Every structure is written in structure tokens, then in C-alpha cells.
Amino acid sequence: MPPEQASGRQTEIHELSAVRLRNALRAGDLSAREATAHFLGRIEQQNPLLGAFVTVTGERALADAAAADALYVRAKKGTFDAGTSGALPLLHGVPLAFKDLTDVAGVVTTHGSTALDHKPAPADGALPAALKAAGVISLGKTQVPEFGLTAYSENRVAPPSRNPYSPARSSGGSSGGSAAAVAAGLLPFAPGTDGGGSIRIPAAACGLVGLKPGRGVVAAGESSGDPARLVVAGPLARSAEDAALMMDALVPSPETHSPATRSQGAHSNGGAGFLDAVTREPPQLRIGVTLDSPWAAAFPFQTEPEALAALKTGTDLLEHAGHVVTEAAVRYDNRYPDAFTTAWTAGVGSARISPHREALLTPLTRTFRRRAQQRSTAKLNEALAFLRQFEHDTVTQYANWDLMLMPSLAQTPRPVGWFTGAAHGGAAWPATEWPNDADGDYRRQCEFAPWSSMVNVCGLPAISIPVYWTGGAPGMGLPMGIQLVGPAGSELLLLQVAAQLGF
């Protein structure tokens, strides 16, 4: 059973960090069936309010947990200590769930769309396959926007994903269901995918640590329908240590993926895994703080006082930790919004959707699908070439500092239905009631999260850290975060800084 807290009260399973839960499972203090049943109970109790899960695979999860417990018994009879490495995988018996954009064998993948046939997937996608090999127990599929296109997780398939700290507000997107589930204690942590902010946006909205690794670091998160190579998988977690544990399952060694990491002593961990090295003090860093955004010319936005307060809190924490934070002016090419939008929506243009079902798409998806189909291959190639130059120019400017600092979001988490232009308090959007304001929707998203997508274009790692709460204390009011962007190979460094700041 879980250990007692200092007060003498028995710690609930969902109150354990992912690291402590994993350790309890590997030591035999807790069975996989106990952990799985506990989280399934949490989901049954809270998901009707939160809408974090689209599909719950309870029976399958309990069967997988029983198999994990049988593996533990076999390991216990072996010649090694089952609490260490040996035959037990890294995440033995740990429950989690996958976004409903990712295939899990035998489970329907809706992609958040009623325009698709909802059939069980024949095999696991790369990300579930990798994490299942690490020993996880999948509890189901979490809510996403249609085809993962938006910064909020609302669709016509299932109720919208809501923020655990204020259910009238969104949990963000596109990993919004996963973030809500972790923040509410329905999961210990969860994998997300990020092509334009889809890990960092919901992490900031839900008060989590969200790490977007750099391009090519987590091969399991890449997508064939992503011509600009924007999408990468990474962890949504309640702490840097928990995020480091998931990174150990996704990347065998933080030093094997980047020559730059090995050549810079500041980013090296001496060959240890992410979890082993995450609590080591990082070196003193030069950090450039900026509010500049490549979206500012096309969509002038206001940074809300809460976002500025989070930035001030983050700056103070970093300076107190010994880092030097200075103003940084970054120049972005004004052609960026059109080029990014062209690359970002290319995949939905080629999605296999029957013509007679296109009317079932949300207005935003339908609008951008039509535009993508009307766009020439030459226009797409031109946009991709521009983004490569944008990457070079931006990375060159960022190189003047060790890390870049900015708010995670320009605004507090938005009300459910706000992006589409209509408040929404019901369960799922009926097709006849979804507002038809695709361009206004997209503009509001870019104004909400103006510092996210350019990090994907540049292929750099970035982390959102929940440094501020509008109510004055953690868990009170709404969470607000800061984003730190690092050079290639700095995933461990970003986690170390988050841990150093107490997250």
C-alpha cells in the first residue's frame, strides 16, 4: 500500500508522484491491479464533469494489469531483485492514457472527428508501442480537437475537455484531455504530442510541467503527414522529476541523441538517465526574456496582466537561483503566419474523408481543408523553404543566450466555447449549433498562444513551468506558466531548471 504522509493520513494512490508510484509498483508495495482500479475509479467519478476521456478501456486495462502482476511474480522468483532493473520494464504497471489521435490496438481512434468511420485500430501506433514496451497500462483515449488542429479540445464526438481548476474553462489543446486527466489525478502523467504548442498550451492551462523535446529526439512521436516536421511527443507531468521519468522511457539516454549535448558540459549528465540527473544543479545561465512574437504583425495581441505576472514571477525565481536574465529583442519575418499556417494545415488537406461526410467537419477544419486542397504543391514547397530559413534566422538569434524566456500563454485559460465565438455549456456541440467563424477562431488561438508554434518550426526543445496562480497560491485560481526555450539537445537542462525552481 502507499506510504503514509507525515500527518499520519494514508496517501491516496493518485496523490503519489509518477516516480513514487512507479517505485511502489516495482517494489511490490502496490499491485498493478490496485493502481489501475484506483485510477479507473477516479475516471468514473470525475470524467463526466471534466470530459478528459473519450474512451475508457477498463476491462482491457485490468487484464493488462493482471498480466503485469503475473510478470512481477515471475520476476520475484528469479535471481535478481525485482525492485531494481532485471526483467521488469521501466514503467512496470504504471497507468496512463493516449490522445485520441494515436492508434491503440483494438481501440477506436476518432481523431476528434465525426466525419471519419470509427473503427478499432488494427495495431499500436509508434508512441503507444514504445510506452507499452516500457510496461505501462493504457486506460483509454483522451479528448482532442478535430485532427489536433486547435489550442482547445472541443469537438463533435464527445463533451469538451474542461479545466480541473475551473470547469467552465478549457484545458487547452491539442493534448487537453491528457492534461486535464493528469491535473485532476485521473492519471499520474501522460504522453502528449506537440506540433504548434499542443503539450505546452494545455500544460500551462492546467498547471503542469510540459516538455516539448527537440526535433528527432523522440522518434515515436513523429508523423508521416507532417511535411515541416513540427510534431514531437513528450511528457505532461506534475513535476520535472515525473517528466524526466517519462523521458527515460521515450529516449534511452539524454546524451545519445545530440552531439551538441555531449560537446557542451553544461548540458551533460555523465551518461545517467534523465531521472538520475534531473535534480543536479544546472550551471549559471544567461537567459533572454522577450515578448516578441512572429504573430504580432498579422494578429496584434495584448498580453494580459496575469501573463505578465507569471513572467515576473518566473524571472524572479530564475534570478534568485543565480541565473542572469536580460531583455532580448528578437526580429521575426512577417511572412511567418502564412507559411506556418500553410504547413500546419497541409495534413488535413490530404486526410481521407468521403465527400458526403465533409459537412460533418467543424467549420475551422472544413475551411482549412478546402484551402489546403486548393493550394498548389509549389506553394507548399515555398512555405516549407521559407520555414527552413526562418528556423536558421531564429536559432541564430536565440544563440546569443543560453535559454529564451517568455510567457507560456498571453491570456488566462479561456472559457469553453470562447475560441469558436460562442459560449458553450452543454455536452457536445450539435452540428447545427457549431459557430461558423473559422478565421476568427484561428486568430483567437494565435493571440492566446503567440509564443508556441515558432519553437516547433525551429525544432527546439521547450518547457512550460507553472510558476503563477491567479489566486495567489498553488491550486488557487487559474494557473499561468512561463516557457523556456533551449538549444538543440537541452531537454535535460530544461528539466533541471524546472526542478531547481521547485517544480
CATH number at residue 108: 3.90.1300.10
In a domain, 245, yes or no: yes
Catalytic positions, written as ranges:
99, 174, 198
CB 26 within 8 A of CB 92: yes
pLDDT digits (tens, 9 = 90+) for 291-307: 999 999 999 999 999 99
In a domain, 296, yes or no: yes
DSSP result, 369-402:
HHHHHHS-HHHHHHHHHHHHHHHHHHHHHHTTSS
Number of helices (H), then strands (E), belonging to the chain: the values are: 17, 13
> Which segments within 83-229 are labelled E, that is strand?
95-99, 137-142, 162-163, 166-170, 190-194, 209-212
pLDDT above 70: percentage of residues in the chain: 90
- What is the rounded CA–CA span in Å between residue 276 and residue 492? 10
In a domain, 206, yes or no: yes
The x, y and z cell numbers of residue 70, run together, are: 503475473
pLDDT digits (tens, 9 = 90+) for 59-102: 999 999 999 999 999 998 874 444 444 589 999 999 999 999 99
Report strand pairing: 324-327 vs 462-469. Answer: unpaired
- Map residue 499 onto helix, strand or coil: helix
CA atoms within 13 A of residue 395's CA, in its CB half-sphere: 16
CB 345 within 8 A of CB 368: yes
pLDDT above 90: percentage of residues in the chain: 86
- Does pLDDT of 486 surpass 70? yes
Q: Give me the pLDDT at residue 86, please.
A: 56
What number of other Cβ atoms are within 10 A of residue 399's Cβ? 9
Q: How many domains does the chain have?
A: 1
Q: For residue 317, what are the domain limits?
A: 96-500
- Does pLDDT of 215 surpass 80? yes
CA atoms within 13 A of residue 158's CA, in its CB half-sphere: 25
In a domain, 30, yes or no: no
Supply the DSSP symbol for 120. Answer: B
In a domain, 31, yes or no: no
Q: Please report, as a single letter, which amino acid is at residue 4.
A: E
End-to-end CA distance of the chain: 26
Q: Give me the pLDDT at residue 10, please.
A: 83
In a domain, 306, yes or no: yes
State the average pLDDT for the chain: 92
Place of cell 467549420: 363
- What is the rounded CA–CA span in Å between residue 309 and residue 213? 26
pLDDT digits (tens, 9 = 90+) for 116-161: 999 999 999 999 999 999 999 999 999 999 999 999 999 999 999 9
In a domain, 33, yes or no: no
Q: Give me the pLDDT at residue 224, please.
A: 73
The values of phi and psi at residue 453, to 5°, are: -65, -30
- Does pLDDT of 6 surpass 70? no
Q: What is the mean pLDDT of residues 189-216?
A: 98
